[in-house]
Amino acid sequence: MLLGLLAAYLIHNVVVFDNIISYIFYAVLLALVHSKLAKPIASVVKVVTSDKIIAQFATPIVIILTGFTVYFVNVPSMLASGDLIDAMTEPTVRGRLEEFHSALSRGSFADQEIVEQLAQQAMQVARNPKVPEAERQMIIQRAELELLRMAEKKPGDARIHNFLASFYRAIGAVPQAREQAVIALELSPNKPALKVEQALIELQGNDLVAARGFLAEAFAMEERNTQARIFYAAVLFQLGEAEAAKALLTSESDKKAFALNDYAISAVEIAKDYPYLLELYEIRVAEKPDDAQNRASLAFLYYQLKDIDKAVATLEAAALKIPSFATAATCYAGNIKLGKDPSTPCE
């Protein structure tokens, strides 16, 4: 049993680096084995150490060194983590930037995590039209500067360049995103996620053919990569290759993942494959029964496909399931029964 536990924790520690509990358990097991089986080392036993020396000299030195280590290693990181929490909860952009600046000035070992969180915040702000342009540019420029500094500080780190690619894509800087994606892939050529990122960049630039090529490569590298499969199928739908797309979605789990992806849904809608779109919305309603928009879209698809009874039944079920949608659902159902357009205003 002990050998099995040691082997299990050893393998776990080799592949998981951010779970301190497993390291503690592993050390406890080693200590248990040591306490049961260890024998005194003769050469060590021969060295006679005075208890007085240990008490008067060794112990104070160890205490002082421990105090310095805790202060200079742990305290800056603890303070930086507090700043990071404040940055994540600060409502104003300027306030967030001040907290991120404070966290980075601590010189802790968590600088990369802080920079990545800053970039995530910048990407959210970039997509928020309610934020003033000056503040948007302020946080975007600071995030870009810190990411580039991190890339310079850690040359050869594919993760940082991939993060830069995602950041540039989010703010609409497609040429810079392409450049960083190429660097990331050169550093880690066998990682499908980097090919997917290249495809997303091409989709941002409206180049479906290039995106299809990258997704085909990512899917060929790892067919179990759900993200590659979903986006590959979506692009195929947009390019008019519906049958090839459906061939990628034969399993129930793949089809469910595809149905729950908004980009995939829009791709099928662009392809005007309404019968297949109907199947996808049936899955969405089953998975998210409290989503009024999904139920309304499903009813509209039934209406488009001339299945009036199911359209009405879907809206009546929605009215019962979602009280806040009941008035609108009843209105739409009544219009359909009267042969009107479902979206006709009700009196």
Instruction: Give the model confidence (pLDDT) of 151-172 as tens digits.
Output: 999 999 999 999 999 999 999 9
With beta carbons less than 8 A apart as the criterion, state whether 280 and 310 touch: no
pLDDT score at 3: 84
pLDDT at 14: 83
Residue 21 has pLDDT above 70, yes or no: yes
Q: Is residue 261's pLDDT more than 70?
A: yes
pLDDT at 49: 62
One-letter identity of residue 137: Q
Cα–Cα distance, 262 to 308 (Å, whole number): 26
Helix (H) or strand (E) holding 282: helix 274-287
- Select 73-189's CATH number: 3.40.50.720, 1.10.3720.10, 3.30.1490.20, 1.25.40.10: 1.25.40.10
Report d(CA 186, CA 180) in Å as an integer: 10
What pLDDT is stored for residue 108 in this prediction? 83
- The total number of residues shown for the chain amounts to 347
- Return the amino acid letter for 205: G
Residue 55 has pLDDT above 90, yes or no: no
Q: Is the pLDDT of residue 44 over 70?
A: no
| Per-position DSSP letters for 216-245, written without gaps between them | HHHHHH-TT-HHHHHHHHHHHHHTT-HHHH
Q: pTM for the whole thing?
A: 0.78
Looking up tokens 């947009």, which residue turns up? 238
The residues near 76 (Cβ < 8 Å, ≥ 6 apart) are: 106, 107, 108
**Domain boundary assignment for the chain:** 73-189, 203-281, 288-347
Residues near 96 by Cβ (< 8 Å), separated by ≥ 6? 87, 88, 90, 121, 139
Among residues 222, 220, 268, 270, which one has the least CA distance to residue 246? 268
pLDDT above 80: residue 100: yes
**Mean pLDDT of the region 115-135:** 93
Q: Residue 117: which residues within 8 A CB-CB, separation 6 or more?
A: 84, 87, 88, 100
Whether the pLDDT of residue 50 is over 70: the answer is no
Tokens of residue 13, six digits: 């520690």
Question: pLDDT averaged over the chain?
Answer: 91
- Given this model, what pLDDT does residue 301 score? 95
| 192-246 pLDDT tens trace | 999 999 999 999 999 999 999 999 999 999 999 999 999 999 999 999 999 999 9
The residue-averaged pLDDT of 133-138 equals 93
Q: What separation, in Å, do the N-terminal and C-terminal C-alpha atoms of the chain show?
A: 74
DSSP 90: -
pLDDT in tens, 67-80: 888 888 788 888 99
Q: Give the angle subtended at the CA of 62 by the CAs of 47 and 27, to the nearest 5°.
A: 80
